[in-house]
């Protein structure tokens, strides 16, 4: 053990996996260090990367200590991170977000693609040493990792244990923009009450409906393209029959050019519809929150609520919001 200037120490990047201590616990730790000094040395590598003692280092810096005791370990970065993880796992019960970040980090180190349920090498040993993960099934570990795909507000609901893991896993299948749109329409309280089975079923039905609607659009456009091609062929034949004229009919040329431009534009639209994934959030909201069975919390809609729904319908194009606003207007609420 030796004494060094605390400013020479720097945090371990792997420490971002773990949450900071609660404010009251950290305040008590800082007060104890102020009164008695650092009783346990900070564990670090030879280049002064902290392995264990990040909170003690923070407190020492805030207290303006000139020297802190350190225990220098001759280990590489991977072993240092392994020890950091082991130290945190032994000292605390991991929160849902810590479990998700830990699995993601271990997979990164093992070269496993995010979302893959494979664990290799030292990763399995670390998982086995983490009570919350060692007792979980492979499927549950996958879902814990998959929760990393949630947008921050939904991840916060999951971490606060308001959103069950199964529902979080189902929502994580949605694109980030769709997750945000769903949250904007339903609000955190209603999202937290969603059931995984309902989300999965609604998503499947919405995707099927959206895909069917897109295919119908494509077929209608292709039919129009066929008509335009026939019109173009007729115009070209008429143009060829008057080629001996020094001045072709300007109206005929304009019609031919217009038909060709429209045909090209429609073919580009077909390509766009086939390449872009269907947007399912509007149908998902309609499925999960039927207009005829409004949420009890929204049963009495006042003027301000009606304005919000109308604005939402105008801004996002959500049929659900539009129907709610129309129904409220009709009933004079």
Per-block mean pLDDT, blocks of 10 residues, the chain (333 long): 92 89 91 92 94 94 94 90 82 79 78 55 51 66 85 90 90 87 86 84 71 68 78 75 62 75 79 62 65 46 41 42 46 46
Query: 56: number of CA atoms within 13 Å, CB side?
Result: 20
Longest dimension (CA), the chain: 107
Residue spans per domain, the chain? 2-77, 92-196, 212-275, 291-330
CA neighbor of 53 nearest in space, from 78, 72, 34, 66: 72
Residue 94 confidence (pLDDT): 79
Residue 61 confidence (pLDDT): 95
Residue 23 and residue 275: Cα distance in Å, rounded? 50
The pair of structure tokens assigned to 116 is 């893959």
**Opening angle at CA 191, ends 20 and 132, nearest 5:** 40
Query: 23: number of CA atoms within 13 Å, CB side?
Result: 0
Residue 14 Cα distances to 92, 94, 98, 115, 197, angstroms: 16, 15, 12, 20, 35
Strands 68-73 and 42-45: parallel
Residue 33 confidence (pLDDT): 93
Residue 60 confidence (pLDDT): 94
Just give the CATH number of 2-77: 3.90.1530.10
């Amino acid at each position: 053990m030796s004494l060094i200037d605390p400013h020479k120490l720097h945090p371990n990047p792997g420490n971002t996996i773990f949450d900071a201590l609660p404010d009251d616990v950290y305040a008590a730790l800082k007060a104890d260090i102020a009164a008695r000094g650092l009783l346990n040395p900070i564990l670090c590598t030879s280049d002064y990367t902290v392995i264990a003692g990040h909170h003690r280092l923070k407190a020492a810096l805030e207290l303006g200590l000139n020297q802190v005791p350190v225990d220098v370990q001759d280990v590489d970065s991977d072993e240092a991170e392994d020890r950091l993880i082991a130290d945190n796992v032994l000292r605390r019960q991991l929160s849902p977000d810590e479990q998700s970040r830990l699995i993601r980090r271990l997979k990164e180190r093992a070269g496993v693609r995010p979302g893959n349920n494979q664990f290799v090498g030292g990763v399995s040993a670390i998982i086995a040493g983490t009570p919350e993960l060692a007792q979980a099934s492979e499927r549950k570990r996958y879902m814990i990792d998959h929760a990393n795909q949630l947008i921050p507000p939904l991840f916060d609901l999951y971490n606060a244990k308001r959103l069950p893991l199964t529902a979080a896993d189902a929502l994580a299948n949605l694109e980030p923009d769709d997750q945000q749109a769903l949250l904007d329409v339903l609000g955190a309280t209603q999202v937290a009450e969603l059931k995984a089975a309902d989300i999965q079923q609604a998503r499947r039905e919405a995707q099927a409906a959206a895909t069917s609607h897109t295919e119908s659009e494509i077929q209608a456009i292709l039919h129009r393209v066929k008509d335009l091609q026939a019109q173009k062929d007729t115009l070209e034949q008429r143009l060829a029959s008057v080629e001996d004229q020094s001045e072709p009919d300007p109206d005929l040329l304009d019609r031919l050019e217009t038909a060709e431009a429209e045909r090209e534009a429609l073919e580009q639209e077909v390509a766009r519809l086939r390449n872009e994934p269907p947007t399912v959030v509007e149908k998902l909201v309609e499925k999960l929150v039927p207009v005829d069975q409004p949420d009890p919390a929204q049963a009495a809609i006042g003027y301000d609520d009606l304005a919000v729904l109308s604005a939402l319908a105008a801004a996002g194009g959500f049929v659900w919001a539009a129907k709610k606003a129309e129904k409220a207007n009709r009933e004079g609420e």
